[in-house]
Structure 1
C-alpha cells in the first residue's frame, strides 16, 4: 500500500484538498505541520542559517 508524507501549513487550503483526495483513494497519510517562516517566533527558526541558505540556494529566502 502507498503511504504519503504530507508536509504543509495547518491552515493551507491545498492541504485540506490533498487530504480529501488521498483519503478518497484509500492512501495512508502522515501529516507534518510546516513552519510559516513569514510569522517568525517559531523556535525552529532559531536554527535558520541565512548565510548557509544563500550559499546553497544563491539567494535570500
Structure 2
C-alpha cells in the first residue's frame, strides 16, 4: 500500500498526469488550415460588399 502512494506525483501539477491525452491522427496544420482558408474566403467575399460614403471626399480641410 505504501508503494502505491509513493508512486503518485505530488505537487501543484499532479493532476496533469491524471488527465488522459488524446492522440490525433490528423496533424495540427491539416485541422487548422481549412478553417483559416474558410475565414479568409468569407472576409474577401464581404470586402466589395455594400460600401457607402455618406459625405463627399474633400481634398482640402474644411473651414469652420
Tell me if both proteins adopt one fold, taking TM over 0.5 as the criterion.
Answer: no
Q: Which has the higher contact order (CA 8 A, sep 6+)?
A: 1
Give the TM-score of the pair, scaled to structure 2: 0.23
Give the TM-score of the pair, scaled to structure 1: 0.24
Tell which structure's C-alpha radius of gyration is larger.
2
